[in-house]
Amino acid sequence: MAILVSGGTGFIGSHTCVELLNKGEEVIIFDNLSNSKREVVGKIERITGKKAKFYKADMLDKDALEKIFGENDIEAVVHFAGYKAVGESVHVPLKYFENNIVGTIYLCETMKKHNCKKMVFSSSATVYGMKNKSPLSEEMPLSVTNPYGRTKLMIEDMLRDICTADSEWGVMLLRYFNPIGAHKSGLIGEDPNGIPTNLLPNIVNAVTKKNGPLKVFGSDYPTRDGSCVRDYIHVEDLAAGHVCALKELRRRNGIEAVNLGTGNGYSVFEIIDAFEKVNGVKVPYEIVGRRDGDVAECYANPEKAKRIFKWNATRGISEMCADLWNYVLTNRK
Ligand SMILES: NC(=O)c1ccc[n+]([C@@H]2O[C@H](COP(=O)([O-])OP(=O)(O)OC[C@H]3O[C@@H](n4cnc5c(N)ncnc54)[C@H](O)[C@@H]3O)[C@@H](O)[C@H]2O)c1
Domain coordinates of the chain in residue numbers? 2-180+232-261+302-313, 199-229+264-300+319-330
On whether the CB atoms of residues 233 and 179 are closer than 8 A, the answer is yes
Among residues 80, 79, 76, 126, which one has the least CA distance to residue 261? 126
> What percent helix, strand, coil does the chain show, rounded to 5?
40, 20, 40
| 178 Cα nearest atom in ligand 1 | 3
Rounded CA separation 16/38 (Å):
16
* Same fold? 2-180+232-261+302-313, 199-229+264-300+319-330: no
Q: Sign of torsion, CA 196 200 205 211? A: positive
Name the catalytic one among 96, 148, 232, 299. 148
Ligand 1 within 6 A of 104 CB? no
Confidence check: pLDDT of 333 > 70: no
CB neighbours of residue 151 within 10 Å: 28
Atom 36, ligand 1: residue with shortest CA distance: 35
Per-residue pLDDT band for 191 (boundaries 50, 70, 90) equals confident
Determine the average pLDDT of the residues in 273-280. 98
Determine the average pLDDT of the residues in 66-90. 96
Rounded CA separation 326/78 (Å):
27
pLDDT (tens digit, 9 = 90+) per residue, 227-268? 999 999 999 999 999 999 999 999 999 999 999 999 999 999
On whether the CB atoms of residues 261 and 177 are closer than 8 A, the answer is yes
Per-residue pLDDT band for 197 (boundaries 50, 70, 90) equals confident
Answer yes or no: pTM beyond 0.95.
yes
Q: Which of 5, 84, 199 to mutate to test the pocket of ligand 1 (most atoms within 8 A of CB)?
A: 84
Active site residue 55: no
Where does 199-229+264-300+319-330 sit in CATH, by number?
3.90.25.10
Determine the average pLDDT of the residues in 167-182. 98
Task: Say what percent of the chain tops pLDDT 70.
Answer: 99
Confidence check: pLDDT of 17 > 70: yes
pLDDT at 293: 83
Determine the average pLDDT of the residues in 110-115. 98
Confidence check: pLDDT of 63 > 90: yes
Among residues 179, 86, 83, which one has the least CA distance to residue 127? 86
Confidence check: pLDDT of 194 > 90: no
Determine the average pLDDT of the residues in 66-85. 97
Residue type, 319: E
Q: What is the mean pLDDT of the chain?
A: 96
Determine the average pLDDT of the residues in 83-101. 95
Rounded CA separation 155/157 (Å):
5
Cα–ligand 1 centroid distance for 195 (angstroms): 16
Class of domain 2-180+232-261+302-313: alpha beta
Q: Which of 5, 9, 18, 34 to mutate to test the pocket of ligand 1 (most atoms within 8 A of CB)?
A: 34
User: Cα-Cα-Cα-Cα dihedral of 214, 293, 193, 176, to 10°?
Assistant: 110
On whether the CB atoms of residues 4 and 74 are closer than 8 A, the answer is yes
Ligand 1 within 6 A of 100 CB? no
Bond from prior residue into 135 cis (ω within 30 degrees of 0): yes
**294 vs 131, 188, 229, 322, CA distance in Å?**
11, 29, 10, 26
pLDDT (tens digit, 9 = 90+) per residue, 281-313? 999 999 999 988 889 999 999 999 999 999 999
Atom 26, ligand 1: residue with shortest CA distance: 81
pLDDT at 154: 98
pLDDT at 211: 80
